[in-house]
Chain A
Amino acid sequence: MPPEIARKTPEQLLREVQAEEGAAAKGHLKIVLGYASGVGKSFRMLDEARRRRERGQDVVVGAVQPKVPPEVAGLMQRLEVIPLKPLGDGSAIDVDALLRRHPAVCFIDGLAYDNPPGARHPTRWQDVEELRAYGIKVIASINIQYVAELREQVEAITGKHVAQTVPVSFLKSADEIEIVDAPAEEPLGRSPEEQESAQKRAQRLSKLRELALVLAADVVDGQLTEYLQRHGVHQQFGAHERILVCITPRANATDMMETAQIMAERFHGELVVAYVNQPQISAADQSALDEKLALARKLGARIEILEGEDPVDAILQFARNAGITQLFIGHSQRSGLWSRIRGNPVDQLLQRSRGLDVRVFPQ
C-alpha cells in the first residue's frame, strides 16, 4: 500500500464534518481581487452581472464605485441597482432593502469601506457577512491595498497610508477568488523625468501585482486543502512548496534555517521547523535548543515539537500529513554505538523518505 495515504485522526474527521456544515449554511462568496484601480475590475464584475442576468439569474447590484467610466455606466443601465443609503455625510449599502429584495446574487463593487456612524455594522464587509447569513450569494471586489494584514507591506511599496481595510480571514472565507491580472501599462516615452516616474510607478505596481497573485494562490491553497478534507483525502498536491527543517540541540542549524527561509521566500512557500522531543536532555542542550527555536521564530517559521520513540518515524509521519515537499537535515554527528545499533539516521531518512526531496547540510 502506498505510504502517502495516511489514516484519519479524530481531528481530521472533525474538520471534515465542520467543512461540510460550513459549506451548506452560508451564502456563497466570490471575491474579485485586483492590484490597483484601473485594471478593469468594475467592468469585469458588472459584465459578469450582465451575463448572469442574460442567463436568467436574479441579479442585483448593491454597490458601485463613486466614479465610473462610461463603459461601466453603460452596463449599469442594463442592471437592477439598489443605491447606497445616505447616512450623515457618508453612505452605506442598503442592507434592509437588499434583504427585502433578496436576490439570488448581489454584486458589491468595492468591499473596503468603513460605514458612517449609525450604520448597522462598522464596515461594509460585515454588511456582506449579514447578506451571506441570509443565504444571498455575494460577488465582491477589492484591491490588494485594502487587505489589513498586508497594509505594512503595501505602505512600504506605495508610501501611502490606507485607512479602510478588510481582514484577510474574510477573503480566505470566500468560496471562490478570482484575480484580475493585467500588467501595468508600458511607460510611454516623454521627457526623461516623466519616463523615470512612470518606470517607478510600473515597479510599484509590479510589486502589488506579485502580492495579489500570492494572496490569491494562498486562498486557493486553503480551498484545495478544505476541498480535499471534505472528500476525505489527506494528502497534498505539492503546488505549494513546504519546507521542513529538522533540528537537534547540537546540530548547527543556523545555515539550514537561513537557507530554508530564503528558499521559502523565493518560492512563496511555507517554512516549518521541527524538533523531536527527547526525554532527558542536559541543561546545556536545552539552552542550545531554545536558542535555535528563537531563531526559527525570528525567521517566521512555524514550529512543531514532535513526539515519538523513533525520530525518523516521527519526522516522516509529520511530513506526510503536513504536505511537506522538502526536508532539510544536518549531516549526522552520531557515530559509534548508536549508529551501529539503529543505523545512521541520515541514511535511514534517505531510505524511507519516498516522495520527498531531502537536502543534507554540512555540519
Chain B
Amino acid sequence: MAESRRGKLKIYMGYAAGVGKTYQMLDQAHEMKARGVDIVVGYFEPHGRQDTIAKTDGLELIPRKKVEYRGSVFEEMDTDAILARHPQVCAVDEFPHTNVPGSVRGKRWEDVEVLLEAGMDVLTTMNIQHLESLNDHVFQITGIRVRETIPDWVVQQAGEVVMIDLTPRALLHRLQRGVVYGREKAEQAMQNFFRESTLVALRELALRETAHEVEHRTVVDGRDAQRQAAGGSAIPRAPHKILVLVTAEPETAMVIRRAKRVGDFLGAECFAVTVETAGDLSSLPEAGREAIERHLNFARNLHIETRILEGDEIAPVVVDFARRNQVTQLFLARPQERPWPLPLFSRDLVQKIVNIAKDMQIVIVAARDPLAHP
C-alpha cells in the first residue's frame, strides 16, 4: 500500500468549548466506519459530556498512555500504540494540547505530525483562540493571553478546515442547561470567558479565518492546476518581501506574529533580523541575549528565516540590509507607553528608521489592549 504518502489532516474549527467540534468529528468517524474505513479514536477528551461520550460507542479507542510527572500520573495520547495499530484514519481531540513534561514530544500537534508522516489521515479539533497569529487579537477580545498556540503553518497544511458553528445564544443556553460544564463551573465560565460579546467576537474571528483557509486552498489548488497545465514550472512570483526587526523588547513577539500574518495573506516571503555589534549575541548581557534568542526561536518556529547582522547602529544596518534584499515592507514595534523614564531608545529607533527608509513601506505594529466588555 501507499505507505510513503503523507496523510491528510482535517481540522474541526470552533470558537469556544461546547460548540460541538468533538461531536461532529465523532459523527464523521461513524460515517467513515460505516463506509468500511479503518478508523480509530487516538485521543478523546470526554469533559463529562454525555452526548459526546455516547458518540464513542462502537468506535475503537486506543488506550491512553500513563505518564508520571512529579509524583502524579497524567494520561496522554499513546502515539506509539497508534503507529503500531496503524489505521487508515485516526481521530485526535484537542489539537493544541501541551503534553506533560517528560513526554517524547512537547505538543500534541507534533504527535499528529508523526501520524501524518506515517501515512495516516487525521481528524482533529481546535478553537480559533489557539492560532498563533491571532494571539494578540484574542488577547484584545478576551483579556486572556493564550499560551497553548499552534503555528499557522501547521493549520495551513491541513487538507480541510471546517467551521463548526453554533450561535452564541445557543451556546449560552447549552451552558445554562449544564451540557458543557457542570452547573457551578458554568456560572463561573459565563461571567468570564463566555460573555456574549466575547463569544460573538471570537466567532467572527473563526468565520473569517475559515473563509481565509478555504480561499487559500482554492487559490493553491488553482495554481497547481495552472502549473500542471504549463508543464510543471511557473512558480508564482511573490510580490512582496517582509522584514521584521527583532530586538530584546517584549513587543517583538507581537511584531513577528503580525508580520507573518500579513505575509501569509499577501503570499509574501517573510524574514527576521537582529543587529549586534559583534555579529553574534556573545557581547550582550544575559537577559538581553536570552530575550533575543527566544524571539529568534519563536520566528523560526513560525517558519521565518532569521539572521544576525553585524553593526553598531541598528537603523542604518537594517535599512541597508532591507534595500540589498529588495524588502518592500519593514515591520517594527510601536514603543510601549511605559512610565518615566520614557524608552527614548526605541522611540528614537522607530523615528530614525522612518526617516531614512523613505523608499519602502514601514509598518509600526501596535499592541492591542484588551477592551472593556459590557
Which residues of A does B touch, CB under 8 Å?
Answer: 2, 4-5, 30, 176-183, 199, 203, 206-207, 209-210, 213-214, 216-217, 220-221, 223-224, 227-228, 231-233, 235, 237-240, 259, 262-263, 266-268, 331, 346-347, 350-351, 353-363
B200 touches A223 (CB 8 A): yes
A2 touches B369 (CB 8 A): yes
B362 touches A224 (CB 8 A): no
Task: Let me know if B108 is at the binding interface, CB within 8 A.
Answer: no
B165 touches A238 (CB 8 A): no
- Binary flags per residue of B149-175, CB closer than 8 Å to A gives 1, else 0: 000000000001011111101100000
Q: Which residues of B contact A178 (CB under 8 A)?
A: 165-167, 170
A240 touches B204 (CB 8 A): yes
Stretch in B84-92, B214-222, B278-286 with 4+ CB within 8 Å of A: B214-222
- Chain A nearest Cβ from B19, distance in angstroms: 10
A356 touches B165 (CB 8 A): no
A5-B368 Cα distance, complex, nearest whole Å = 14
Q: Which residues of A contact B225 (CB under 8 A)?
A: 199
Task: Let me know if B212 is at the binding interface, CB within 8 A.
Answer: yes
A239-B129 Cα distance, complex, nearest whole Å = 12
Stretch in B304-312, B313-321, B352-360 with 4+ CB within 8 Å of A: B352-360
B196 touches A206 (CB 8 A): no
With known contacts A221-B204, A227-B196, A237-B141, A357–B258 Cβ distance under 8 A? yes
Task: Let me know if B17 is at the binding interface, CB within 8 A.
Answer: no
Which residues of B does A touch, CB under 8 Å?
Answer: 137, 140-141, 160, 162-167, 169-170, 196-197, 200-205, 207-208, 210-212, 214-215, 217-218, 221-222, 225, 258, 262, 265-266, 334, 337, 347, 350-351, 354, 358-369, 371-374
A-B contact pairs, 29 of them (CB 8 A): A4-B369, A176-B169, A178-B165, A203-B222, A209-B214, A210-B211, A210-B218, A221-B204, A223-B200, A227-B196, A227-B197, A227-B374, A228-B374, A233-B373, A237-B140, A237-B197, A239-B202, A239-B204, A263-B266, A266-B265, A267-B208, A267-B265, A268-B212, A331-B354, A347-B354, A350-B351, A353-B334, A354-B369, A359-B362
B358 touches A331 (CB 8 A): yes
A358-B360 Cα distance, complex, nearest whole Å = 14
Closest A residue to B200 by CB, please name it. A224
A129-B314 Cα distance, complex, nearest whole Å = 63
A216 touches B165 (CB 8 A): yes
A347-B334 Cα distance, complex, nearest whole Å = 12
A267-B208, A360-B361 known; 17 new pairs, CB 8 Å cut-off, are A30-B167, A176-B169, A176-B170, A213-B210, A216-B165, A216-B207, A220-B200, A220-B203, A224-B197, A237-B141, A239-B204, A331-B354, A347-B351, A350-B334, A354-B366, A357-B366, A362-B359
Q: Which residues of B contact A262 (CB under 8 A)?
A: 266
For the complex of A and B, the 3 pairs showing the least CB-CB separation, nearest first, are: A231-B374, A213-B211, A217-B207
With known contacts A227-B196, A267-B265, A268-B208, A213–B163 Cβ distance under 8 A? yes
- Chain B nearest Cβ from A143, distance in angstroms: 15
With known contacts A220-B204, A221-B204, A181–B217 Cβ distance under 8 A? no
B363 touches A179 (CB 8 A): no
Closest A residue to B240 by CB, please name it. A259
A360-B334 Cα distance, complex, nearest whole Å = 13
Q: Which residues of B contact A176 (CB under 8 A)?
A: 167, 169-170
B211 touches A355 (CB 8 A): no
With known contacts A350-B364, A362-B361, A217–B204 Cβ distance under 8 A? yes
A220-B206 Cα distance, complex, nearest whole Å = 11
Main secondary structure of the interface of A (DSSP, over half): mixed
- Checking A5, A180, A239, A263 against B205 with a beta-carbon cut-off of 8 angstroms, the contacting residue is A239
- Checking B163, B371, B373 against A181 with a beta-carbon cut-off of 8 angstroms, the contacting residue is B163
> Which of B196, B201, B205, B350 has most A Cβ within 10 Å?
B201
> Which of B165, B337, B367, B372 has most A Cβ within 10 Å?
B165
A104-B141 Cα distance, complex, nearest whole Å = 34
B166 touches A224 (CB 8 A): no
B167 touches A238 (CB 8 A): no
Closest A residue to B169 by CB, please name it. A176
Closest A residue to B217 by CB, please name it. A206
With known contacts A357-B366, A362-B358, A214–B211 Cβ distance under 8 A? yes
Q: Which residues of A contact B208 (CB under 8 A)?
A: 213-214, 217, 239-240, 267-268
Q: Which residues of A contact B262 (CB under 8 A)?
A: 263
Closest A residue to B196 by CB, please name it. A227
- Chain A nearest Cβ from B266, distance in angstroms: 6
B362 touches A237 (CB 8 A): no
Q: Which residues of B contact A363 (CB under 8 A)?
A: 358
A356 touches B366 (CB 8 A): yes
B365 touches A238 (CB 8 A): no
Q: Which residues of A contact B137 (CB under 8 A)?
A: 238-239
A232-B354 Cα distance, complex, nearest whole Å = 38
With known contacts A213-B210, A220-B207, A231-B374, A358–B361 Cβ distance under 8 A? no
Q: Which residues of A contact B214 (CB under 8 A)?
A: 183, 206, 209-210, 213
Q: Which residues of B contact A221 (CB under 8 A)?
A: 204
Q: Which residues of B contact A362 (CB under 8 A)?
A: 358-361
A203 touches B221 (CB 8 A): yes
A2-B368 Cα distance, complex, nearest whole Å = 13
Q: Which residues of A contact B354 (CB under 8 A)?
A: 331, 346-347, 350, 360
A207-B369 Cα distance, complex, nearest whole Å = 34
